[in-house]
Amino acid sequence: MQMISSYGMSNQNNQNSKNKKILKLIIICIIVVLIVSAALIGAIYYLNLVEQRELKVYIDGVKTSVNSDTFIIKDNGKVYVSIKDIAKLLGYDVHNGEYKVNSEETTKCYVENANETASFFLNSNKISKVAPNTQDEYTNFIISEPVKSENNKLYVISDGIKIGCNVRFQYDINSNTIQIQTLPYLVTQYETSIIKLRL
């Protein structure tokens, strides 16, 4: 009888030992799952934070990737735009120098499309526009800040790009997003709105 009871106790001790090991394994698994979950939540939060800080640029409603030096955004919310980089994205041809003057001066540049030409001059608040291949006089526009040079590129305040390339330009500092709409895009949007109003 004693043999049976010692065997029963030994079996019960083995069972208790196994239960303790299983309990420890479950606790370890729960801790690992919690650590992995916390790491995933942290990674998602970090990626979301990085995405919010990343400059997002939309041209005619389409997210567009740009070089990191296409825009210079100051702490006061002013946006300076690389004339050459943005003009190419907007479908303009870009040239060094002044329109109808044979030069490759890097302190001047002009952008042109089929409808007009806009000239920009370093340290000048003036933008000169004219229809290409005509004898018309230039129309001059004054912008709030002069064209400046950084990174071997000419930059103009966002209002200058609005005038030079006939675009709507909006910067939302909270979402770090630039929205640019070209004239053809805006015309299409307005036409669509008018058609919808008539229906």
Q: What are phi and psi of 125, to 5 degrees?
A: -90, 10
Q: Using the predicted structure, report yes or no on whether residue 1 has a pLDDT greater than 50.
A: no
**Do 91 and 137 share a structural domain?**
yes
**Do 129 and 42 share a structural domain?**
no
**Residue pLDDT, tens place only, 122-147:** 999 999 998 877 777 889 999 999 99
Q: What are phi and psi of 22, to 5 degrees?
A: -65, -40
**Which residue segment(s) compose the domain that 123 sits in?**
56-198
Domain stops at, among 32, 53, 74: 53
**Do 65 and 5 share a structural domain?**
no
- Please state the separation of Cα 120 from the chain's center in Å: 25
**Are residues 86 and 166 in contact, defined by beta-carbon separation less than 8 angstroms?**
no
**Do 170 and 110 share a structural domain?**
yes
Spatial distance between the Cα atoms of 149 and 101, rounded to a whole number of angstroms: 21
The average pLDDT across 147-162 equals: 94
**Residue pLDDT, tens place only, 30-52:** 999 999 999 888 888 887 766 66
**Do 113 and 30 share a structural domain?**
no
**Do 82 and 42 share a structural domain?**
no
Count of CB atoms situated within 10 Å of the CB of 46: 10
Question: What region does 197 belong to: left with phi over 0, alpha with psi -120 to 50, or beta?
Answer: alpha
- Distance in angstroms between the alpha carbons of the first and the last residue of the chain: 99
Nearest by Cα to 165 from 67, 59, 73? 59
CATH number of the domain bearing residue 101: 3.30.457.10
How many independent structural domains does the chain possess?
2
**Do 71 and 86 share a structural domain?**
yes
